[in-house]
Structure 1
Amino acid sequence: MKILTSVKILVTIFFLVAVSISCEKKKTAIVKKIDNTAEVKRLTIIADKQFDNVQYDSAYYNYHKILNIADTVKDRVDYVEAIISLGYLHINRGELDESEHITIKAIPHLKYMKKTRFAFNVYMILGFDYIRSDDFEKAHLYFTKAHNLNVSKFRKLESLNCIGDVYFREKKYKKATEIFEKIVNDSFYKKNTEPMYLSDHALAMVNLGTSYQFAKNPKALYYLKKALELRIKAKNRADQAYNYNSLSYYYSDKDLKLSHYYALKAYSIANELDIYPIKYRALGYLINSSTGGDIEKYSQLYTKLIDSINKVKVFGKNQSTYAKYNFNKDKKENLQLKSQKIEHELEMQRQKNRSFISYLIIFVSAMALVFIVFYVIKKGKKESNAEVFKNEMRISEKLQFELEKDIDKILLFSENHNLEKEGNKEEFLSYLNNIYSKTRNISRENSEIAVDENFEKGLKEMISGYTNTNLNIIVNGLNSFSWTKIDRVKKITIFRVVQEVMDQMKTLNNATLASITFEKEEKNIVIMYRDNGTKIAQNYTVLEKRLQNVENRIKTIKGTLNFGTYSESGFKISFKFPI
């Protein structure tokens, strides 16, 4: 109440200051903000055209210029488009770290974008970055996020193709092949024969052909050649080079001349377009299929390419900083030139009659603000220290309660038994392991809870931790809905509530089988615990008292706790909270 009163006083004082200052005659300086929207639009049209015409260096320069002059709110669409294009350009250069670094800058803007294609492209770029860095778990995550968006059938098939590629690289060939077969045979491609769709259909065919090659399926070559026909028809030279590499790999253990022929075609195109991943693979196939002096020739080119990529990785940040400096310099010079053309009629503001009361009000306001800040900080520290002390005492009491008997037992055992004997040694180690397990559990109970995409995994691991030789726990429906849409506070509360219920049931019941079921009912989530214990009837009153804290936690998120009636078949408890 004291803080509230002080805040009211402070607000009143600042109101008086505002009124006092506004009543005094003054002149406001007029500063015109430079509007670069037209220039951003112009550069976007130029850069997009350069990108489509495979003029990647020029496009790269102009996209960076857009990032430096664009207003991230007013020009948000062009700003995010530039980030996405740069993400793809860095992938073509083999600069995966740079691609990831620049692409994640678009993520905060996605919630403001009406069209899902922006989020789709961002997720796809990150998926490409991670799959080429062999981080298959993250690649699968982002390709799946892209696939789950409300996008066109074409984009659905494109992202599904990438998911299949992840399975292939994880050596889950059966899953990958099933996905590629589904895409290749989809009726969508029979109805849509534009170059863009032909290229994507061809990519699925290449992936299917490569999968068949690993499975020694004779259809492999058919799909690789069919894909090349589609890419030639689509007039996409970069994709053609990719296809030539696939054919070179196919013939690498069958016909070295043909392998060399296709690798040379792939390298020629990739070298012209400066696409690092295709160039890198083509040189590897050329070395493998060459003889005599050609081996040394292609080996030197391969070494030179690797060295250039390593230099990019080492000096990439410095080069980016240098480019950024140049763009900022251009921006400042442009602003200065434009400023010279704009008439600045700055009206100097002066207060003619500064009253004593204005100074007094400002001084009192400042003193009141300082007092409130110090008061709140001091009170916050005091409450924080009290909470820390309370938690330390609770953990200390739990350690004493849980471990006191075990420590006494192990000390007594070590005094009365010869630990050199094998049987005694094993029993002694068993006691030590029991103490370790209990302390680990206490540590886990008080550890930080992950509330990101790893929450579901952490919750499952926590529940599994209560499984032992005497108790089996079945978890149902944990992944039947998206935990990412649930509020952070609610996730922490649910984690602690389930943990507390498991602790109490482990102590008060003698169940051998338990189940925890997660269900979504309209706009609520229901979590139900059941077991086959028979001991709970004796401890029902104790359990109700101990679960009072659980009930209080549930109420904080507007949830309810329901005790099931005890029967011979076991015990049941459930709680429900709104999403």
Structure 2
Amino acid sequence: MTKKNLFHFFKKNYIFLCLPIFITVLAFSFFTQFSEAKERQIQHVKKDRSAEIKQMQKKAYAFWDSDKNDSALFYFNKTQLLCEPKADYADYYCGSLNNMVEILQRYGNYYEAEATLIKAFPYLEKTTNTKYAVNAYTFMAYNYLYTYDYEKALYYHKKALKKAVSTFRKSRILSEIAFVYMHQERYQEAINLLEPIARVRYKIADKITPSNTTPLRAAILYNLGLSYLYHGNHKEEAFKCFDESLKLTLTLNDDYELIGNYHAFYKYYKKYNNPELKKINAEKAYYCAKRAKAASYEINMLAQLIEADNAENSRKHWKVYIKKVDSLIVSRKKAKNQFADAIYNSKKDREENLELKTQKAEKELQIERQKNRNIILYISIVFALSAFLFLFFHLSKKGKKEKKDAIYISEARISRKLDAELANDLYHTIALVQKEDLELSQNKNQLLNNLEEIYSKARNISKENSLITTDENYISELKEMISGYKTQKVNILLQGFDTVRWNQIEKNKKIILYRVMQELFLNMKKHSEASLVSVTLKISNNILTASYVDNGIGTKNNPLILKNGLQNVENRIKTIKGTITFDKNSDKGFKLSFTFPI
């Protein structure tokens, strides 16, 4: 394509069709690249960690099963730290936190347990099984029970009850609620809860883990027996509950569970004054706690044994009791330190890994951002160039059209003016030359007068359409133009023209003022029939005010003044943000004033 053809291509406005298509293609390209970058970022974040989490959780359960609770806590903590984003691994996250809380509660670290458990609450609704929510609320209830806040313990047990689905889980929670009632000495309410579920022994079964059925039955009977015992007047009912609970627990071969049963008989025989059986059951409870390595229960059962045994044996038990208490205090401190170290090390390891991953992600993100910035820059440059070309050709074409229109309008106006003002004079002058004898003095003078009139009108038309000087000669030319309308019958008074600092007024405003004055005096000459005209200029607060007054026939008797002349005047004044005021109904001359900022 040659340069000439290229010019014609743009000139014919094909660019207006190509620009939107070109910009659309670029925008689509940018959107595609941005979407790919976003997809890569999402894929990076959504990396599947299920296998790694399962492996870590397996290690935690292995240590837990072998009673290495500090190591189990460490790996449960690492498991929950791996669950990022937490919403995608809600089961593992909430399950690991529940296991951590169970370990912390076993060692009496209730405040750390509460802080840990709270982390799970925002994600309980995202788990796939209600057991996570039930367990979390139950553990929180235990935490408040152990810290003697029974109302909050009841609140969370009831939340767990609402979430529970199976009869087995609901029965277990009702038993726990009854246990809280016992601590509040609300024994009758506890009995009212426990009696119905104690009667339906064959309907309460854990279908998922059948081995849990017997321990729950034993626990329900144990709690019901204690409620009967504390409430009073239920001696036989209490004994039956304790006896059946003990028989069920013995089938489990679990010393830890037997502690409670023998402790219940110790309470029973203490209340009903049987010292021998009281001592026997205190001893059994103590030795079960010792074999189960439950230090807290061992100390409590030993305290009961001291109370139940004779004085000589009690002294021996007391020495052991003191050692056990000191040992428990030390061991709990060590356990807390180990747990703190485990959590700290796990967090530190996690933070270091996260820092490395974050640095890598930041670098990748910076690269993607740089790419996106480059794409945006390219689009901006192309768009700016396209807009520039569009504006260039559009404004060029518009300028040429406006120039042609202005020339056409100017030529038409001049043509009409020449036709209106000179055609008739020229016709009479030509007729005079053709028909009259120019040797006669009268005809010769008439010809000279006609030619002078034609020259004067042509000169005025020329001045009306000529360039206006805006330099230091401006005021002289303005006065000269106005004086051109002065005749023997028309007097013109100018005031304030020499007080205006014309060099402080913008060029375009000078031109507008010149044309407005020209329009006013032209209308006066054609329509007003005035014999006296006064024009006053004054400046106040950077506002120039011009007042025009004549003693002609006024606008009321000659509406042509408003129709023809003042329309142009008003339009010109508005272009320089000016205002104009005139009397439309005056029959005693014509008054007009206008203002504009300088």
Give the structure-2-normalised TM-score. 0.48
Greater RCO, 1 or 2 (C-alpha within 8 Å, sep 6+): 1
Larger Rg: 2
